[in-house]
Amino acid sequence: MSVLKLKLDQEQLVEDFFEDTWLAGIVSQARDYQVCWQINKQLGFDLRVNNSLEINLTKNRRSYYFTVFEYQELTKSAAHYFYNNHCKAEFLLPELKHVDYIWLIKGNYYQAADVKLLTEQCRKVETVQLVTLLDMKDIKNKINLIF
C-alpha cells in the first residue's frame, strides 16, 4: 500500500496571502494596546486583539507569542492587522529589528494614495515615532505573518 504525501506549497501560500496587501512598519516605545487605542482614535478604527490570530514561533525549543490586533472594514472589504514584531528579544520579522509593529492592510479597496493618507494620519498619533511603508520584496520571513 502506497502512502500519498501532500506537500504545502509555501510560495503559493505566501503569494495568495499577500495579494492586494500593503505593509507598514511602525516605531513606538508604547505598548501594543496603547498604540492601537490611539490609532483607533486618530483613524476611527476599531483595532482589537484577536487571540485566535496570535502567532506562535518556536526557536531553540522556546515558544514566542506575537499578538495580532484586527479591524475589519466591512463596507470597504478591507482588513487591518497590527502585529507586534517582538517578544522577549525575538522578532517576528528579524530583518526588521528596528520596527516595533507591523501594520498589514489587506484588500483591494486601498490604493497607493489611500495608504499614503493612512500612514500620514498614523504619524500624527502621539506615541508613534515613525511610520514607513515596507516593500514586500525586502521581507524574507513573510511566512511568519501568515496566521
Asked whether the whole model's pTM tops 0.75, one would answer yes
Range scoring the smallest mean pLDDT among 7-16, 76-85, 130-139: 7-16
| Per-residue confidence (pLDDT) for residue 69, from 0 to 100 | 98
| Per-residue confidence (pLDDT) for residue 36, from 0 to 100 | 98
Q: How far apart are CA 50 and CA 13, in angstroms?
A: 22
5, pLDDT greater than 80: no
| Per-residue confidence (pLDDT) for residue 8, from 0 to 100 | 61
* 121 occurs within a structural domain: yes
In total, how many domains does the chain have? 1
Residues 23-61: tens digit of each pLDDT: 999 999 999 999 999 999 999 999 999 999 999 999 888
146, pLDDT greater than 90: no
**CB neighbours of 47 closer than 8 A, spacing ≥ 6?**
36, 39, 40, 69, 70, 71, 80, 82
And the C-alpha cell for 121?
494620519
* 8 occurs within a structural domain: no
Q: What is the DSSP letter of 140?
A: S
* 96 occurs within a structural domain: yes
* 30 occurs within a structural domain: no
Are 46 and 146 in contact by the 8 Å Cβ rule? The answer is: no
Domain enclosing residue 87, as ranges = 35-145
Residues 90-139: tens digit of each pLDDT: 999 999 999 999 999 999 999 999 999 999 999 999 999 999 999 988 89
